[in-house]
Amino acid sequence: QWWDLRRRGYELIVSSAVESECEKGDRVAASRRLEFMAEATRIPTTSQTMEIARTLIGPGRIPAKAEADAIHIAAAVLSGCEYLLT
């Protein structure tokens, strides 16, 4: 619902980690996800992004199995994003 009604009120930004994640799974669903992302600005996953992501992973924080989530958060922080959609 947010995507249909509200997205045009925001600048959409995605990291390369998001793009990689969206390419996985069912081909039809992946194609649809990538279509939605076509209007978003892509930001690279830099060494600084990865450094911040690594600091977010650990006991009582983001579990190692959710490294992609840590990368999403780090990319959002470095880009100055006010909101993070998951």
Length of the chain in terms of residues written: 86
Pair of tokens at residue 83? 């909101």
pTM over 0.75: yes
CA atoms within 13 A on the CB side of 16: 7
What does the mean pLDDT of the chain come to? 89
d(CA 36, CA 65): 26
Percentage of the chain exceeding pLDDT 90 = 44
Q: How sure is the predictor about 60, in pLDDT bands with cuts at 50, 70 and 90?
A: very high
Q: Residues 6 or more apart from 44 whose CB is under 8 A from it? A: 15, 16
Q: Residues 6 or more apart from 56 whose CB is under 8 A from it? A: 62, 70, 73, 74
Residues 4-29: tens digit of each pLDDT: 898 889 888 888 888 888 888 999 99
